[in-house]
Amino acid sequence: MTNDRKALLLGLAAIFLWSTVATAFKLALRHLDVFQLLAWAATCSAIALWLIVVRQRKARLALGYLRESPGYFLFMGLLNPLAYYLILLHAYDLLPAQQAQPINYTWAITLALLAVPMLGQKLSRRDLLAVLLGYSGVVVIATEGRVLDMQFASVEGVICALASTIIWALYWLLGTRNHRDPVASLCLNFTLAAPLAWLVCALFSTPWTSGWQGPAAAIYVGLFEMGITFALWSSALKLASGVSRVGNLIFLSPLFSLVFIATILGETIHPATLAGLALIIPGVLLQQTGRPAVPAQA
């Protein structure tokens, strides 16, 4: 099997798993609140990432990174997973999955906007068109097609979904300055953030849960939102002869996700969701063309 074929299979596996996470979020939130879900999932991700780091014989490397820059990894852990998932999960708690997932998908367009003040980049005509298409799609989805009425299922939910794109784009932009191993770096982020997630859970909720369904769904999220799936995606990018061979697979994620949302959650997919995605996906494609591939989001 050629490296490109292996890269394609690994990339497809990562996209498939990421596509299930929006559904897993909603299932978990039926049994856990946002704080409990974050604490369980972040801890599971940290454990999974440490197992991957040890298997790749990078444990000493990770510990060396931590000794060099503990403040950096603490700050990045506060951004992701702590702040990012607190806000994103709150959006999923307030919105149907078919709305929260596509809105969160516009983070790549937010990235272009934040790159202007942070990296001194200029917005090209292509970027401006991407912004117009992407946020037009957001309005269509959030209003369920009633654009002129501008009535939202949850204004707070839409704001949270959009805010999550800002945090993720900020996290990614700051991460471009970090030339350390990506899996080891992410492992440290989650390791430092997990105890803080439990502290936040103890302050605003309770660590105790009843039943097994919530923790089971949280473990699934922890494994397949960032843990194992991130390693699959990183391996696919390394094996591919060209980044675009794998990177463009991210455009399958929102479409696959809708299939799981409809079949497992039982949400009837609104025509406005499809119309909004028909605007968002070309917008993201325009913004991503010629840029490095980055992880898809749930």
Identify residue 58 by its one-letter amino acid code.
K
**CA–CA dist 48, 39 (Å, integer):** 14
pLDDT of residue 124: 82
- Note the helical H segments in 82-124: 84-94, 97-104, 107-119
pLDDT of 119 above 60:
yes
Element (H, E) at 102: helix 97-104
d(CA 244, CA 23) in angstroms, rounded, equals 27
Q: What is the DSSP letter of 150?
A: T
Highest mean pLDDT of the ranges 71-85, 113-127, 224-238: 71-85
DSSP state of 78: I
In this prediction the pTM is 0.91
The 3-state secondary structure of 38-84 reads HHHHHHHHHHHHHHHHHHCCCHHHHHHHHHHCHHHHHHHHHHHHHHH
**Cα dihedral sign for 188, 189, 191, 195?**
positive
Annotated domain spans of the chain = 3-288
d(CA 197, CA 99): 26
Q: What is the mean pLDDT of residues 138-165?
A: 88
pLDDT tens per residue across span 26-60: 999 999 999 999 999 999 999 999 999 999 999 99
Q: What is the pLDDT of residues 258-288, one digit of tens each?
A: 999 999 999 999 999 999 999 998 888 877 6
Distance CA 77, CA 6 (A): 31
Using CA of residue 233, residue 236, residue 237, residue 243, what is the dihedral sign?
negative
- Please say if the pLDDT value at position 295 is more than 60: no
pLDDT of 3 reads 81
Alpha carbon separation from 26 to 253, 266, 268 (Å, rounded): 17, 11, 15
DSSP strands (E only) in 121-245: none
Q: Residue 271 in 3-state DSSP?
A: helix
